[in-house]
Amino acid sequence: MLQLTYISTAAPSLSIYDAEMILETSRRNNSHAGLTGLLVFDGTRFLQALEGDQIPVEDTYLRICADTRHRAVVELSRRSVNARQFGGWAMASQVIGPIIGKGDIVGTVDALTETIPEPNTRALFRSFARLRAAWPD
């Protein structure tokens, strides 16, 4: 099983509504493809981990790279995993930043990631939240 994690920057024209639609579509598409993972959007950047069979993960990532609603897609991690890190989540997701107060970002992401058994994956998402909480408005 492949786990792939990337970060990207939202297109300047992307609204919170657009981001919520991306999250909803991701859940539906990933469920059909047998993928699990976590997608977090902070109002500026997406951080997503995808896991599942290699071909559906790679096909999904290629589609993400071609999506004009975000840019500067950077693959952070690609590794084989023996078991799903995100359990039965079709795609856990959270819009943070503009919707959740900065003080709640860390707690929200910590709660979303507390059951992730692999410490590096958990730390990546938690570091993302802590960096966002520290950014000036």
Structural domains in the chain plus CATH codes: 2-98 (3.30.70.100)
Residue 134 has a pLDDT of: 84
The predicted structure's pLDDT at residue 19: 82
Positions in the chain whose pLDDT score sits under 50: 97, 99
- Non-local (6+) Cβ contacts of 31 within 8 A are 90, 91
Q: Find residue 47's DSSP bridge partners.
A: 7, 40
**Do 16 and 96 form a contact (C-beta atoms < 8 A)?**
no
pTM: 0.86
Extended beta strands in the chain, E state? 2-10, 36-41, 45-52, 70-80, 92-95
Buried b (16+ CB within 10 A) or exposed e, 103-125: eebbebbeebbeebeeeebbebb
